[in-house]
Amino acid sequence: MTTPFRCFGTGHPDYERYHDDEWGFPVRDDRSLYERISLEAFQSGLSWLTILRKRDGFRRAFADFDAEVVARYGDDDVERLLQDATIVRNRAKIEATVANARALVALRDRGETLTDLFWSFAPATPAGAADVLHDLPATTPESKALAKALKVAGFRFVGPTTAYAAMQACGVVNDHLAPCPVRAKVERARRTKATKPR
């Protein structure tokens, strides 16, 4: 039996599911975007597979990424999370996740949404499909602009590289490779503005 082509993840069931069913499909709700931005920040310097395997732990630790709840976390909560082995115990990233919840709540209080902010940086002209992962950029002008806008809005730990990884993961760009059968599914979902369930 021939193994189907994947851009990444073949041989790791969690990673395969993430590639086939989630990565690149459009995400258009604030809670899911907050989760993805948070996980991308925690992933910095680590394997994405590590983050996937701890995802349930992250969801428990951060109230299923309910920004209204996480925004009320204080110093005691940060100390509690630093003892939680089910997540990545990094003080700066934990504090950034709390700060980002507060930034998201502040956006809402101004009548804005993270979804609208995030998707406003979708490239006007989509890039063509790359043949190999090595050809994908680490940053783009749009990811640099998104990172700057997020910083102005009070978000932390979301530089241009992390912003671009989130854009890829959330379907703002379709970076599935040319030979990947999932690429066409993602493109259809992007055209219909469909959102993959969490």
- Between CA 183 and CA 187 the distance in angstroms is 6
Amino acid identity, position 78? V
Catalytic residue, candidates 15, 18, 23, 34: 18
Closest to 123 measured CA to CA, from 139, 99, 102: 139
40 in catalytic set = yes
Please identify which residue in the block is written with the tokens 């030979």. Answer: 179
Is 48 tagged catalytic?
yes
3-state secondary structure 69-138: HHCCCCHHHHHHHHCCCCCCCCHHHHHHHHHHHHHHHHHHHCCCCHHHHHHCCCCCCCCCCCCCHHHCCC
Query: Out of 22, 35, 40, 142, which one is annotated catalytic?
Result: 40
State how far the alpha carbon of 115 is from the alpha carbons of 27, 74, 154, in Å.
8, 26, 15
- Marked catalytic residue, from 15, 23, 34, 48: 48
95 is a catalytic site residue? no
Give catalytic residue positions: 18, 40, 48
